[in-house]
Amino acid sequence: MELSGKTKIDDLLKAYPFLMDFFINRSPKFKMLQSAVMRKTVGKVAPLSHVAHIGGIDPGLLLSDIAAEIRKRTGEDVVIVQETGPSEPVKDAEARQEILKDIIRDLHKGVNMAALKQRFYELIKDIDASEIAKMEQKLIEEGMPESEIKRLCDVHVEVFKEALGAQEPPSAPPGHPLHTFMRENRAAEGIVQLMKSILETLCDTPDKETFRQQKKDLLELVDTLSAINLHYLRKENQLFPVLELHGISGPSEVMWAIHDDIRQTLKYARAQVAELQVPLVYGTIKYLLQSIVDMIYKEEHILFPMALEMLTDADWGKVKRGEEEIGYAWVEPGKGWMSGAETAVEEKITAREELTLSTGHLTLEQVNLLLTHLPLDLSFVNENDEVAYYSQTKERIFPRSPGVIGRKVQKCHPPKSFYMVQKILDEFRAGKRDVADFWIQMKGRFIHIRYFAVRDSQGNYRGTLEVTQDVTGIRKLEGEQRLLDWD
């Protein structure tokens, strides 16, 4: 028989099943060939030259050893045919996914970055954003903790950086949500550059007095940079829910966790600048700026290209609706783009139609007015854990936007809060608890957050009501007030 670097591993194993043990003994990496999934994907398309790179073995040496094993076991004469020119990259989508996952698994095990880059170049060469997103999604589904993917997120990007950098940057017309995101990124880069220039003037003299002279400018820039939270909130509450409808949630969870790191670092940076915590503040600000720059890269080379590829015009219309309720960072959206897709119009009770309630009658308009005039924020999650309603009060304590309606409530919280949210829902559903209380201090205000199990007259669980109230003023009340104090 003839043997070359282009010989498919699956064909070889079908002809000579005994080679399975041979491969496994040569490298632990070849144990993957025992997997039915790997045989149906990588095995079908991967030539021996690619298999050699996966196992970290010189292709020529592997061919010689395979030929020797076949001769020893069968007595057949094996001719090794030398290849000319570079091997073709793997094109099969499933096989590419398996190879990518294997590269990332090895990365997390500490395999040398240069070797993994070489393996990527030899086996795949190019990559698109959706492949990276799907790969991370699959790794999470297969058990790799989201926190572990987040920990090495920047290193993942480094493996694929050359291939990602060769792609055209995403673009969209003015008014399109993506166009607004990109404009905000350009504004963020400008603020980052201003902060870097201040740090450069201070780097050789990290003493408090010199730092004090730049304190005012740095505080203003940190406060200005904090508006990036609006950029992240629109991603979390408008873009991520629509991506989830297309089965993409893993990468969103990883990004959300990084958003929270940036938010926390912004708080640290502001406090350290205000308190002249030199030289600690230098490291904090440098980490902050690099984290923001890295997030911009991930957005524009992975998230946004993937979103453009996967989302329809109607999807982008959903992303756009509700953006204004959250707000924009430093820029206003352009004019011109409008979603051309027609959206289905749901039948609604007319505003004047009267609703018969357990203790009276109200029109739909009156119900809405009552809910939006309460001095607290309400959110309701139905029995399927889907956000069904939130009250759009004038000054919501925590932002909400239409993108959350119909979304699983677990996805509406940062990944680090998932366990707590799920525990509350499980206890309410099981009938073990009826109330969960929390209180936090935020921007000088005391916020009381309460969750109530909602049950029907038969005691069946029908959902969870969240009530959030600013009780700062209430906590200060003393004595009595029985008379009207209007001037």
CATH number of the domain where residue 403 is located? 3.30.450.20
In this structure, which amino acid lies at residue 59?
Answer: P
43 with 144, same domain?
yes
pLDDT of 453: 96
State the pLDDT at residue 483.
87
Please tell me the predicted confidence (pLDDT) of residue 341.
44
3-state SS string for the chain: CEEECCCEHHHHHHHCCCHHHHHHHHCHHHHHHHCHHHHHCHHHHCEHHHHHHHHCCCHHHHHHHHHHHHHHHHCCCCEEECCCCCCCCCCCHHHHHHHHHHHHHHHHHCCCHHHHHHHHHHHCCCCCHHHHHHHHHHHHHCCCCHHHHHHCHHHHHHHHHHHHHCCCCCCCCCCCHHHHHHHHHHHHHHHHHHHHHHHHHHCCCCCHHHHHHHHHHHHHHHHHHCCHHHHHHHHHHHHHHHHHHCCCCHHHHHHHHHHHHHHHHHHHHHHHHHCCCCCHHHHHHHHHHHHHHHHHHHHHHHHHHHHHHHCCHHHHHHHHCCHHHHCCCCCCCCCCCCCCCCCCCCCCCCCCCEEEECCEEEEHHHHHHHHHHCCCEEEEEECCCEEEEECCCCCCCCCCCHHHCCCEHHHHCCHHHHHHHHHHHHHHHCCCCCEEEEEEEECCEEEEEEEEEEECCCCCEEEEEEEEEECHHHHCCCCCCCCCCCC
Q: Are 34 and 136 within one domain? A: yes
Taken in order 345, 348, 351, 352, is the CA torsion positive or negative? positive
> Are 156 and 7 contained in the same domain?
yes
Asked whether residue 186 falls in the same domain as residue 314, the answer is yes
Q: Are residues 19 and 40 in the same domain?
A: yes
Q: How many angstroms separate the CA atoms of 280 and 282, rounded? A: 5
Tell me the C-alpha distance between 160 and 152, whole Å.
13
What pLDDT sits at residue 345? Answer: 37
Residues 206 and 157 in one domain: no
* 485 in a structural domain: no
Domain boundary (165, 190, 216) is at 165
pLDDT at 346: 39
Quick one: 53 and 148 in the same domain? Answer: yes
Nearest CA to 125 among 151, 162, 97? 162
Residue 256 lies in a domain: yes
Q: 144: burial class by Cβ within 10 Å (0-12, 13-18, 19+)?
A: middle
- State the total domains in the chain: 3
State the pTM of this model.
Answer: 0.70
Point out the domain boundary residue: 309, 326, 343. Answer: 326
- Is position 70 within any domain? yes
Q: Which of 165, 194, 214 is the last residue of a domain?
A: 165
Q: Does residue 147 form part of some domain?
A: yes
Residue 247's CATH number: 1.20.120.520
- The beta-carbon contacts of 221-225 under 8 Å, at least 24 apart in sequence, are 221/191, 221/194, 221/195, 222/195, 222/266, 222/269, 222/270, 222/273, 222/285, 223/270, 224/191, 224/330, 225/188, 225/191, 225/192, 225/195, 225/266, 225/288, 225/292
356 within domain boundaries: no
Query: Are 310 and 195 within one domain?
Result: yes
Say if 480 falls within a structural domain: no
Is residue 224 located within the same domain as residue 138?
no
Domain of residue 430, residue span: 375-475
Contacts of 75 (CB under 8 A, 6+ apart): none
401 and 322, same structural domain? no
Q: How far apart are CA 2 and CA 8, in angstroms?
A: 12
Is residue 53 located within the same domain as residue 97?
A: yes
* pLDDT of the residue at 50: 72
Does residue 56 belong to any structural domain of this protein? Answer: yes
How far is 273 from 19, CA to CA, in rounded Å? Answer: 64
Same domain, 121 and 215: no
Q: Is residue 486 part of a domain?
A: no
Residues of the chain with pLDDT under 50: 341-349
CB 410 within 8 A of CB 387: no
